Amino acid sequence: MTTSEETDWMNHPVLRRLVDEAKGLSVLERITLVKGLVPGIADALSEEEYETFVTYVRLKGERFQEAKAHPGQGRADRHTPGERVVEGR
């Protein structure tokens, strides 16, 4: 779930278990799960923080699609920026 020292704290066993269990759901069930989580996330964040969250979710999907379309080419050749680039890390 995480590949950087800055986010290593997120590699929590409970979160890993939840993500692994969610992978067993159908795609429509996973979409419903995400949609169910969004109101609580939006409520806990400022408007700016929420927009950043939405941007990161979109970029995560775009980077995955790009990597899937170009297997074995590595991160350096990707055009879609990742969180590290966006945050300037």
- For 59-72, the pLDDT digits (tens) are 889 988 888 888 87
- For 34-43, the pLDDT digits (tens) are 999 999 999 9
Backbone angles phi, psi at 15, to 5 degrees: -65, -40
The ranges assigned to domains in the chain are: 1-44, 45-89
For residue 27, what pLDDT is reported?
Answer: 97
Please tell me which residue, 33 or 68, carries the higher pLDDT value: 33
Please tell me which residue, 2 or 38, carries the higher pLDDT value: 38
Which residue from 53, 82, 54, 52 is spatially nearest to 67, judged by alpha carbons?
Answer: 82
- pLDDT more than 90, % of the chain: 46
